[in-house]
A = this chain, B = another copy of it.
Amino acid sequence: MDQELLEKVMNQVKAELGAGATPAATVAPAASAPAAAPSMKGDATGISKALGRTEFVGTSIGDTIGLVIASVDPMLKDAMKLGKFRSIGIIGGRTGAGPQIMAVDDAVKATNTEIISVELPRDTKGGAGHGSLILIGAEDVSDARRAVETALQVLPKYFGDVYGNDAGHLEFQYSARASYCLEKALGAKFGKAFGMTCAGPAAIGVVLADTAVKAANVEVVGYSSPGNGGTSFSNEVILCFSGDSGAVRQAVKAAIEVGKKLLGALGDEPKSTTTPYI
């Protein structure tokens, strides 16, 4: 993981927040369009003003929207299973669950927030995978907002090792140190390195899982297939594993190489959605 870039991004976000910049302005890239980090910081003040909604935080890649509610109505507290929280941050997109989970994992590290729930709709707009709905709890809504902003800002990075062609997609993630979101959503060992391999059609994902565990000494923490309850009937096989950072990265890298060849056999050469980071 390009830890340096990540920290730079976070520091910048924090600096701008401290300087009193309009929060919505710092986190609204062009909706849905794959965007490199630099072009993400368009001035969204216009949209935000036109919206005139205090709930709106910003948008990012994958038709992802970030929202906050300062105080959820008591009638919905139980239905939403909010526990002790009344202030929540909301991150959800049509395409992608892994990238949003990674981005929120970074966000909870950097803010005073907790993960309430992570849900995986069957989506990707006709693709083989999941969308996402993540609720973040905070004592203070400003913390929730900061977490949502951080997640939206860093999200394009985690689409970097999502590769696609007309036949399907591959997704790989790597974290040097998994935090609460990866632990809750994907069973990662807290504080240890975490890796994920995923492919749709699912058949390719089976081979990637086998490739990853053979490539390095890692501990499997989750294996999800279309019908085993680990997915929402997506056409994917997903392997999640923890371990030493060197081994985890090696396992992921071995699977990337194989995945691109196999998915490529069904169509064009799979292309990164943004810029590979692993």
Interfacial residues, chain A to chain B (CB-CB below 8 A):
31-32, 47, 50-53, 55-56, 59, 63-67, 69, 72-73, 75-76, 79-80, 90-94, 117, 119-123, 125-128, 131, 133, 135, 166-168, 200-204, 206-207, 209-210, 213-214, 220, 223, 225-228, 231-237, 239, 258, 261-262, 264-267
Instruction: Name the residue of chain B whose CB is nearest to the CB of A257.
Output: B53
- Looking at the assembled complex, report how far the CB atom of A127 sits from the nearest CB atom of chain B, in whole angstroms: 8
Give the distance in Å from the alpha carbon of A47 to the alpha carbon of B261 in the complex: 10
A261 touches B51 (CB 8 A): yes
Partner of A202, one of B75, B119, B202: B119
- Residues of B contacting A47 with CB < 8 Å? 265
Beyond A51-B262, A67-B206, A121-B233, 4 additional contacts (C-beta under 8 Å) are A65-B203, A76-B223, A94-B167, A119-B227
Give the distance in Å from the alpha carbon of A248 to the alpha carbon of B131 in the complex: 30
For this complex, 18 residue pairs linking A to B, each with C-beta atoms less than 8 Å apart, are A31-B265, A31-B266, A51-B262, A52-B261, A59-B265, A63-B266, A76-B220, A76-B223, A76-B239, A79-B223, A80-B206, A92-B204, A94-B128, A94-B200, A119-B202, A131-B202, A133-B235, A135-B206
A131 touches B73 (CB 8 A): no
- Residues of B contacting A239 with CB < 8 Å? 76
A121 touches B226 (CB 8 A): yes
